Amino acid sequence: MEKRKLGNSLEVSEIGLGCMGMSFGYGPAGEKSEMTKVIRAAVEQGVTFFDTAEVYGPFTNEVLVGEALEPFKGQVVIATKFGFKIDRETGKYGGVDSRPENIRRVAEESLKRLRVDCIDLLYQHRVDPNVPIEEVAGTVRDLIAEGKVKHFGLSEAGAQTIRRAHVVQPVTALQSEYSLWTRQHEAEIIPTIEELGIGLVAFSPLGKGFLTGKMDESTTFAEGDIRRILPRFTEEARAANKVLLDLINQFAEQKNATPAQVALAWVLAQKPWIVPIPGTTKLHRLVENNGAANVHFTKVELLELTAVSEQVKVVGTRYPAAMEASTGL
C-alpha cells in the first residue's frame, strides 16, 4: 500500500483503520481475540495508521488497539483523542471537557492503555466552547515538548478554530466525516486546511456502512448501534438514498470493483493528503476496503462521478440537531 503525508511530516498508509466499531457505536463489542486478528491482518496488508479514542468503550478500544499493535511498535501510527468528561467508575459521559488538566490526564492514561511511550497523533475529539482553543493547543504543545505526544490534531472543528489553533501549535491533521454523501467540508474546511498544509483524515468514508450497498430500508440495527438515532438511517431516508447507491453501483460495474471500493477510491482521489479510515470487524471487509487502493479513475470518470453524485439530494442530516451542534462546524 502506498503512503501519504499528513501535515509536514506524519507519513501513514493511504488507507487507515478506524477501530471504534470494534468496541463501541455499532452494537455489541466484537470478541477481543477476533478484533485483534483484524487489526493484525491490517498490518499484514500494509495498513500503518490506526484510529481510536478513550471514549470508545469507554477505554476498552484503546486497550484492544494497544495490545493488538504492541508487537509492531515503531512500525505503525496510532491516533487517539481527548475531550470528554467520563466518569472513571461508571463510564458515563458528561459532555465535553478540554480543560488542560483533563487533556493531561487523558494523555497519561492513553499512553498506558496504548502501551506506548509517545502518542503519535493526539486529537481534540470535539471543540469545547468553554475552553479557548489557544489553551487547548498550548497544552498539547507542552505535551509535545515533553516527548509524550508527536502530533496535534482536531476533529470536526470549524475553519476559524483550526486557524486559531494552528497559530499556537501546528495542526497535523483534521479528522472529519467525508464521503460521497457528506461533502459540506468542501466549501470552507478543505480549502482552509489545504492552505495551512494540514491533512484530512476522513472518518465514515463509507457512510457508516450505507455506501457499501449492504443495507436497505429493511435492515435492522442492534441495541447500542448509533444508526438507530441518526436521521439518515430512518427507513424512509434509506429508501430515498438508494438513488446514490444506484449511481455508485454503476461505477462499480464499470471498474470491476465493489461499491465500497468505489466510495473509498473517490475519497482517495480528491486530494493526495486525504486519508480515509474505514472501520470493520470482518476480515473479508478489511481486504475489500484495502483493495480500494487499486481502484483508479480517469479524470473524466472522476469528474462524472463527482458531478452526478452532487445532483443527488441526500435525505436526512448526519446527526440529530443536538449532536450536530456539538461538532463545532
CA atoms within 13 A on the CB side of 222: 9
Q: Which of 291, 318, 308 lies closest to 207, judged by CA?
A: 318
Strand partners, 10: 6
Alpha helices in the chain (DSSP H): 32-44, 60-69, 100-114, 133-145, 159-168, 189-196, 235-240, 242-255, 259-270, 283-290, 299-310, 321-325
Helices 133-145, 159-168: axis angle to 10 degrees equals: 40
Integer-rounded Cα Rg, in Å, for the chain is: 19
Write the CA distances from 91 to 27, 84, 119, 190, 277, integer angstroms.
Answer: 17, 11, 23, 34, 26
DSSP letter string, 282-295:
-HHHHHHHHGGGG-
Cell numbers for 225: 448501534
Q: Indicate if 123 belongs to the active site.
A: no
Alpha-carbon 295 to chain mean position: 21
Strand partners, 96: 84
Selecting among 56, 93, 123, 178, the annotated active-site residue is 56
Strand partners, 225: 26
Interior angle at CA 280, CA 274 and CA 283, nearest 5 = 115
The set of catalytic residues is: 56
